[in-house]
Structure 1
Amino acid sequence: MALPRASVIDPDRPTDMNDSHAIIESRRYTTRAVPLSRPLDWLVAGCRDFLRCPGPGLLHGAAVAVFGALLCWQIPDKFWLLNGAFTGFMLVAPVVATGLYAISRALERGQPAGLMTAVHAWKPRDSRMVVFGLLLALAGTGWVMTSAALIWACAPAPVATPEDFLRLVVLAEQGWLFEAWLALGGLLAAPVFASSVVAIPLLLDRDIGVLGAVLTSWRVVMENPAPLALWGVAIAGFTLFGMATGLVGMLVVVPLLGHASWHAYRDLVRAA
């Protein structure tokens, strides 16, 4: 999802009649600069929400773990495909956590929060969430296919297991395959992350169009490149931990990151 030209707008500039509707919508929200250490505060707040309402978070984490286990069961000897599927999960994770955003919002407002709070968040009043979810799913599918094609075509032998991936890709003698795999992943993941880091919570919380939410998300990233780079590394690190524990860690990782992402949005975006 490439950076739209309109995302470089100045929110303080007076509205021009030639401005698109998405730019006008985005200007309704101001973005806030935060210190580099702020992602730690989001994680602490996310942990607090998880402990206050653990049931829905555990169900979200269990659903992700079961889905991952089914992938492993269906294609156990094709790690060249599995690794792309697992890493591609990080691209669609903002949509997966929609129910958790709703729970954090309810807790923030002092309202009752439970499983039905999360369920109601999955009943879209319009097509905005569906459209954005489909865009992220398309990006995730594109990465799965790209990753699989690169490893299948360029690895010197079939990559059937994690050990094969380590030996034939990460530690390959030619020394370029793993670098190319990382570069392609970063090329796709960076703009998707920038487009979605606060977009889904914003769509849930406010009446704004998909492009307006994406423009706001890009403004947030442009104002906070270092903290959000650290936040992206934290998300990747926790996700890899969840996968390395045989997916059991996802029971905690998914709700922790989901609730923390809501607090990131609330910290970074304000209504003008």
Structure 2
Amino acid sequence: MSQQNEAGPVADEQPFPSVREVDAAAPLRWVSRGFADLRACPIPSLFYGFCFAAMGLLVTMVFEHAYEYTAALTSGFLLLGPFLAMGLYEISRRHELGQSCELRPTLTVWTRNAGNIGIFAVVLGIVFLVWARASLVVFALFYTNELPNLSGFLTQLLALENIEFLLVYFSVGMLFATIVFAASVISVPLMLDRNQDAITSMLASIGALARNPGPMLVWAILIVALTIVGFLSFHLGLVVLMPVVGHASWHAYRDLVAPVTEPSATLKRP
């Protein structure tokens, strides 16, 4: 585990992260630890949960009669999740260190490594915009049914109507989701915890996926499943499930990346 003190991040160049192998059951342990963090720090965790739920409700309300935009923005919700969950990572980090569960320090955690987090945010933003455009193109080319409202669209999806559209849409979405997942599974925690640069963090994240394909597949399925449950519960489930996913992502980082042993390469804590 990284060493901490009160001085702030050191300027020394960080070593390339050493990625470890984990077993297939590890994602279940991460979720269990995420629930534990939520129980230990309920107020700040649920604050972020309400923010996630509010964003989901806003998207649904604004684009209720333009479901093609809702579908793109809702799926983009998963693409931007690692960036939006930074405050939850910080809550888990503070709890891990035995520090108080305060909301205020988590609101500005991005300032710890603002430049590299900004680069990562731009990368995710570009991927999201490309995905949103690709989603609209798929709707225009393959969605042949009459344009219903959002509830009607969901009914058609659950009934597996217009199967050609579903296959193409989810295939394209899976491609974008895989790219983002590979680049982000541990990158943001690395940038926050070790002051790592954005490129190295994304390469290490891709390495974690390449070294642990089975566990990472289980982890991806759990993230998608918990998010879907949250949306299907009229977004109310997001209040609890998104904090759990965020906290669990921190524990995934802790298991997947070996601790830094050299004092000169550690990140000092505020």
2:160 counterpart residue number = 171
Residue deviations 1:86-137 (CA, integer Å, cap 9, x gap): 1110010001110111111111111222101311313344311111112112
> What 5-or-longer segments of structure 1 have no aligned partner?
1-23
Structure 1 runs (4+) greater than 4 angstroms displaced? none
TM-score, length-normalised on structure 1? 0.85
Alignment partner for residue 129 of structure 1, among 111, 117, 122? Answer: 117
Check whether the contact 2:88–2:106 (CA below 8 A) recurs between aligned residues: yes
Q: Which amino acid aligns with 1:230?
A: V
Q: Find out whether 1:66 has 2:54 as its counterpart.
A: yes
1:229 counterpart residue number = 217
Q: Which whole-Å CA distance do the structure 2 matches of 1:170 and 1:194 have between them?
A: 31
**Identity of paired residues, percent?**
30
Q: Find out whether 1:257 has 2:266 as its counterpart.
A: no
Check whether the contact 1:32–1:268 (CA below 8 A) recurs between aligned residues: yes
Alignment partner for residue 199 of structure 1, among 175, 187, 191? Answer: 187
Alignment partner for residue 243 of structure 1, among 216, 231, 235? Answer: 231
Q: Find out whether 1:91 has 2:95 as its counterpart.
A: no
Q: Find out whether 1:149 has 2:130 as its counterpart.
A: no
TM-score, length-normalised on structure 2? 0.86
> What 5-or-longer segments of structure 2 have no aligned partner?
1-12, 262-270
Alignment partner for residue 107 of structure 1, among 66, 70, 95? Answer: 95
Which stretch shifts more, 78-87 or 136-145? 136-145
Deviation of residue 220 (structure 1)? Answer: 0.7
Query: How many pairs are equivalent?
Result: 247
Q: Which amino acid aligns with 1:58?
A: L
Distance of aligned partners of 1:230 and 1:168 in 2 relative to their CA distance in 1, 3 Å threshold: closer
Alignment partner for residue 48 of structure 1, among 36, 42, 53? Answer: 36
Q: Which amino acid aligns with 2:160?
A: L
Q: Secondary structure at the match of 2:18?
A: strand
2:6 counterpart residue number = none
Higher relative contact order (CA 8 A, sep 6+): 2
Deviation of residue 237 (structure 1)? Answer: 0.3
Distance of aligned partners of 1:67 and 1:38 in 2 relative to their CA distance in 1, 3 Å threshold: same
Q: Which whole-Å CA distance do the structure 1 matches of 2:113 and 2:189 have between them?
A: 15
Which stretch shifts more, 85-94 or 103-112? 103-112
